Structure 1
Amino acid sequence: MSSDRPGSAALGSDRLRVVVAAPLSADNAELLTRLEPRIELVHRPELVHEMRWPADFSPAPGFARSPEQQAELDALIDGADALYGIPDVDPAALARAVAANPRLRWVHTMAAGGGGQVKAAGLDADQLARVAFSTSAGVHGGPLAEFAVFGVLAGAKSLPRLLQQQRAHDWSGRWLMGQISAQRVLVAGLGGIGAVVAKKLAALDVEVIGLSRRPERPEGVASIVHPDDLLEVMPTIDALVTTLPGTAATEGLLNAEVLAAARPGLTLVSVGRGTVIDEPALIEALRSGQVGFAALDVAAVEPLATDSPLWDLPNALISPHTAGLDADEDRRIAELFARNATRLLDGEELINRVDTVEFY
């Protein structure tokens, strides 16, 4: 099917001029054009910052091009049909590219939560209607799902107590440990990440409840709860995994009222966006034991402030937004881009199309 929406209508050409505005290895550049030969790839690695680690798409502090290099990159971007990445992951650079290039029809963001970067560019309604945006949601699903399972297990198996007693050389009396096969876990958000989390937890005989506005149940989800009913389900669950994006609708969703409604000792795992959790409320809930354990891969503001109490709470585990990284992420993003290029050229809807109302 085709449509007159950008990102679903064919370009009227059998070629797609793609300018690479993010780090891309030579192997993955070759992969792109092999998977979709109709891509005309403009790849000038010397104009893009080097990666410091896998999936390092943001330039290092202090990175700068010469004026000549910047002018050359801008000129290339201004002649593109599509961009592989937002230049320097900079909303201002995205705004400049969209305004300067009337032929631009598609921008792919490297992040799963790239909708926030699009929102920050402050594009007007005409620009949002002309250019389609897509994200890399789903490529991080497997690694983040493993971290989520790790967090649920760590809470059930009393990881903070084990570490504390080990440091104290304390061979205490024995105690009962939780069995996740006897637990009920709420997965908030059933998109590309949440669906994989649910599947992996269900494989361990966990009863998985999904929090979603849609009635569809991915594999492994026993039942669906609407966000309006969140307070009612909180006393019935043992753990909560949030994979939700950062939007106006999700900001502060897990607030003091919601956490107070939970069964005492709740395990909370966050692999979506940190703004979903009211951090001051979480800190108080961790201090009181209302939340027994929290495994956090994200924070409301990153990097997490050095004076945040979360660093020092014994029942909080902080991961510096690194749980989704693995050696194959860059390749999976390239494969996703190639699939979307094929869909764009064939007049089909893009995978992971950004909703330009809620920007997720």
Structure 2
Amino acid sequence: MNERLRTVLATPLDEELCRLVEQLEPRVELIRDHSLLPPMRYPADHAGDPSFRRTPTQQSLFEKLLDSADALYGIPGEEAEALHRTVIANPRLRWVQTMAAGGGAMVRAAGLPAHCLNQVVFTTSAGVHGAPLAEFAVFGLLLGAKGLPRLQHDQRRHEWADRWFMGQLRSQSILILGLGGIGAQVARRLSAFGCHVIGTSRRPIEPPQGVDEVVHPDDLPSIIARVHGLVVALPGTDATQGMIGAELLARVRPGLTIVNVGRGTVIDEAALTAALRDGRVGYAALDVTAVEPLPNNSPLWDLPNVLISPHTATADTREDRAIAELFAANATRLLDGLPMRNQVDTVEFY
């Protein structure tokens, strides 16, 4: 097909990668004015410098560009309000590529009417972040298994303690909540350690590579006591809100390690705090929290058996290029009438 896809750059992107998109799919006309976008402070800084401000004239020009697009590369300002305005104002808009793997949460927050959700395809960058998040998951499980809080305590006190038995991942059962792009990569890495890997899926599926068992999320209360580690790789939806709560944490194997690389809302943080204090959870490595940034008065900051990572485990200098390549491949699919990858479910918003 000779159809052109007028795409407006709505998020900062290096000019080299803009040209890469056009090279990979020549039917994409990537409209950009870098002076209207905030400068990036580091690679994959999709929101850009927060001190950046457009003049009224620049804002008018930027919105005029957005409202002329068939597709958007990114969400303007990474803001739900801006996404709402843009979709409502532009009846020709067909597609929005979000930068986040969990871009469905932003689409939900935009509060778009049904006719807009039917008009526009929203896609995410799912899969781009799988490798770095899988590494963080293994990192967190190792910290828990090796007793990092105890080691740090003794080191601070200059105590050479008697030898003690550290946990060994190869003898552990690990439960992965969510077997999407992230969960599947976690499973493959844990399989290499010799772990017994259990994954959850709402639909009957064959166990992916590295997964020994697949269970339904409704079965969590009956299996949680079997596992030594829990990796959360779920999106934030109404169905996953508070899934890891007081009732489930009451059933865990004492000393459980929890790693969250999904969304912070999946875990009830008050219940998690109580479980960390009484030893039901021995260690938690959290790259995400329910409210971000984590409020200064959260007890999670000060618990010795918690690692707080400020939603940075996905950061990778290659991220921008990977998303650009994904966008170009999806543009080809759209223009050729093929199903697009990573479409947001506009009912569950994941």
Please tell me the TM-score bracket, short chain as reference. Answer: over 0.9
Q: Deviations over 1:89-126 (max 9, x none)?
A: 11111111111111100001001111111111111111
Pair 1:269-2:259 in alignment? yes
CA separation in 1, counterparts of 2:188 and 2:202?
A: 19
Where structure 1 has 5 or more consecutive residues not aligned to the other structure, the ranges are 1-11
Query: Could you say which structure has the greater relative contact order, defined with CA pairs below 8 angstroms and 6 or more residues apart?
Result: 1
Where structure 2 has 5 or more consecutive residues not aligned to the other structure, the ranges are none
1:63 Cα deviation (Å)?
2.9
The alignment partner of 1:200 has SS state of helix
Q: How does 1:30-49 map to 2 (within 5 A)?
A: 30-49=19-38
TM-score, length of structure 1 as denominator length: 0.95
**Residue identity in the other structure for 2:134:** A
Pair 1:184-2:184 in alignment? no
Pair 1:330-2:320 in alignment? yes
Which residue in the other structure is 1:290 paired with? 280
CA separation in 2, counterparts of 1:80 and 1:200?
A: 41
The alignment partner of 1:198 has SS state of helix
Pair 1:223-2:213 in alignment? yes
Which residue in the other structure is 1:352 paired with? 342
**Residue identity in the other structure for 2:60:** A
Q: How does 1:83-162 map to 2 (within 5 A)?
A: 83-162=72-151
TM-score, length of structure 2 as denominator length: 0.98
Contact kept? 2:12, 2:48, Cα under 8 Å: no
Which residue in the other structure is 1:193 paired with? 182
Which residue in the other structure is 1:8 paired with? none
Moved more, 84-93 or 54-63: 54-63
Which residue in the other structure is 1:238 paired with? 228
1:82 Cα deviation (Å)?
0.1
1:59 Cα deviation (Å)?
3.9
CA separation in 1, counterparts of 2:23 and 2:50?
A: 34
1:307 Cα deviation (Å)?
1.1
Which aligned runs of 4 or more in structure 1 are off by greater than 6 angstroms? Answer: none
CA separation in 2, counterparts of 1:116 and 1:51?
A: 23
Contact kept? 2:98, 2:124, Cα under 8 Å: yes
**Residue identity in the other structure for 2:148:** L
Which residue in the other structure is 1:5 paired with? none
CA separation in 1, counterparts of 2:43 and 2:131?
A: 16
C-alpha RMSD over aligned residues: 1.0
Which residue in the other structure is 1:304 paired with? 294
Identical positions, percent: 61
1:13 Cα deviation (Å)?
5.4
Q: Deviations over 1:318-342 (max 9, x none)?
A: 1000011010011111111111101
Contact kept? 2:154, 2:160, Cα under 8 Å: yes
1:61 Cα deviation (Å)?
3.5
Moved more, 281-290 or 49-58: 49-58
CA separation in 2, counterparts of 1:274 and 1:60?
A: 25
CA separation in 1, counterparts of 2:64 and 2:238?
A: 35
The alignment partner of 1:241 has SS state of strand
Which residue in the other structure is 2:162 paired with? 173
